[in-house]
Amino acid sequence: MRAGIFGWIAWFCLCLVAAPGAASDASPPGVPEFTGLIVDETGALTQDEYSALLPRLGAIQNSERAQVAVLISKGTGGAPLAEHALRVAESWRLGRAGRDDGLLIVIVPAPAAARIEVGYGLEGVIPDARASQWVDELLPAIRENQIAQGLNRLLDRIESALPAAPTAAKGEPFILDAHPEWKVPFVLVVFSLFAIFPMMFGRWGSIASAFLLAAFWGGAAWAMWETSSIAYAVAGGAFLLPLMWGLNYSHSDAPWVLYVRAFGNAVGVAVFFTIITLFVGVGLSAAEEPVWAAPVFSGLLAIGLAACLFPGAVAHYLMLFLRSAVHFVFVLVVAYVGLAPFIADPSRIAFAAAGLVTACAALGLYLDSRERATGGASGMRWSYALFGLAALVALPFALLAFYLAIGGEDMRTQLTQAAAGGGTIAALIALAGRLGLIAAVKIGLGGRFGGGGAGRG
């Protein structure tokens, strides 16, 4: 116990020591500002040489094979070249997060020295032995003041070793592009919801809605099948629906009114579910997102509509189900979003958390109704305990998702890189001591470096 307390005290002291460096986002001492893929502190390159090398580096980056940068340095400030190169690579945040495909070439013209710093993701294709050979080939060009020629030869070596450019995966054709004959029917069916607007002005508005809905659906059937018999049949069925829906304004208790109204409302809920599913599903398909979310979303809306159209006990149970479903979906989404940056497939944990929260909330509501009925005679309010457990399970995921939402994608990357530890925990702590704790966490917004590479000088 005492050792644990002293460990936390030591970590707190480290944070206090490191904190001054967190007040500034400036580059560490001796590290030049990253102004481009070539930073020439010494003026060793002519304008023509600079203009010829820069497009080569840009082409490598645009091909998504790697991100290669060059620093022609005026000196390391007394630090070993390997340490200086690693510090520059980390500060410049070279490479892409998750792929760690950054590569830094550091040249110090006087005295002639060079180092190639390789990100984690390239250490397999550019091992230390190969990088060392390339540095040996570069040094004579540095001594002879032919840095541009040496860099061109080195870039030839690097390009030949880098993995091939990723081929863009050709997505599935958009469903409406693959079936152009569906476009007009889809538009007519989706926008047919506007046909029910006249019903909002009273029972007589259902007559106008009947003609409008018949026109929408009849036109969709004609565009789809180009057969007048089918078009008339669909239009006739569509014409009857608003008339049945208009019976909701009637206060008659006649059996035929009750049955026709119930039938019409059931068909209306099914129609509403189908149209919303079509609309949302096509949008998700176009965005290459999971289409299964469309019926889930539409189902929740349809349950809410059914609860309004079928009052009484039916509405009570539908609302209980809807409330539980909303709890489940909300916690599922929040848990998935919060865990996605850290876990490859957070689905199981997200479903488990959502199920536990929903079960606790539903059971808590049931016990709460029982406890209210008995006036709380049993003393212990178990419903409160279940509500508290549900909140306790959901709160960490909600806070994490909120934190990521505030910080955006950059914050997500920062947290991912911090969780990865920048290579090792010891490296992260050492970096915290040099640059400040917060600055250490910020390192690695691009790819990570772990000392791979080779140098001379």
For the segment 227-284, what is each residue's pLDDT rounded down to a tens digit?
889 999 999 999 999 999 988 888 888 888 889 999 999 999 999 999 988 888 887 7
* pLDDT at 77 exceeding the cut of 70: yes
Task: Check residue 272 and report its DSSP letter.
Answer: H
pLDDT digits (tens, 9 = 90+) for 144-156: 999 999 999 999 9
Long-range contacts of residues 328-332, Cβ cutoff 8 Å, at least 24 apart: 328/354, 328/355, 328/357, 328/358, 329/296, 329/300, 329/354, 331/357, 331/358, 331/393, 331/394, 331/397
More confident: 456 or 205: 205
Q: What is the dihedral of CA 430, 124, 59, 415, to 10 degrees?
A: -40
pLDDT of residue 287: 64
Alpha-carbon separation of residue 435 from 18, 127, 358, 377, 416 (angstroms): 7, 29, 45, 61, 19
* pLDDT at 41 exceeding the cut of 60: yes
pLDDT of residue 228: 87
Q: How confident is the model at residue 159 (pLDDT cuts 50, 70, 90)?
A: very high
Q: Cα–Cα distance between 250 and 340 in angstroms, integer?
A: 52
pLDDT digits (tens, 9 = 90+) for 354-398: 888 888 888 887 777 777 777 655 556 777 888 888 888 888 887
pLDDT of residue 12: 43
Kindly report which listed range (1-5, 48-52, 188-192) carries the lowest average pLDDT score.
Answer: 1-5
pLDDT of residue 380: 64
Kindly report which listed range (76-90, 245-259, 417-431) carries the lowest average pLDDT score.
Answer: 417-431
Number of helices (H), then strands (E), belonging to the chain: the values are 16, 5
* pLDDT at 310 exceeding the cut of 70: yes
Nearest alpha-carbon partner for 451 in 437, 436, 433, 431? 431
328 contacts: CB under 8 Å, gap ≥ 6:
354, 355, 357, 358
Q: Cα–Cα distance between 328 and 355 in angstroms, integer?
A: 6
pLDDT of residue 413: 45
Long-range contacts of residues 347-351, Cβ cutoff 8 Å, at least 24 apart: 350/397
Which backbone phi and psi does 61 adopt, to 5 degrees?
-65, -45
226 contacts: CB under 8 Å, gap ≥ 6:
none
What is the per-residue DSSP string for 330-398?
HHHHHHHHHHTTT-S--HHHHHHHHHHHHHHHHHHHHHHHHHHHHTTTTS--HHHHHHHHHHHHHHHHH
Which backbone phi and psi does 345 adopt, to 5 degrees?
-135, 90
Look over the chain and give the mean of its residue pLDDT values, rounded to a whole number.
Answer: 77
Q: Cα–Cα distance between 438 and 418 in angstroms, integer?
A: 10
* pLDDT at 138 exceeding the cut of 70: yes
* Lookup: tokens for 402: 């909120």
| Domains defined along the chain, listed by start | 14-164 (3.10.310.50), 173-310 (no CATH)
Instruction: Please state whether the predicted TM-score (pTM) of the whole model is above 0.75.
Output: no
pLDDT of residue 429: 45
Nearest alpha-carbon partner for 334 in 294, 393, 283? 393
Q: Cα–Cα distance between 221 and 184 in angstroms, integer?
A: 10
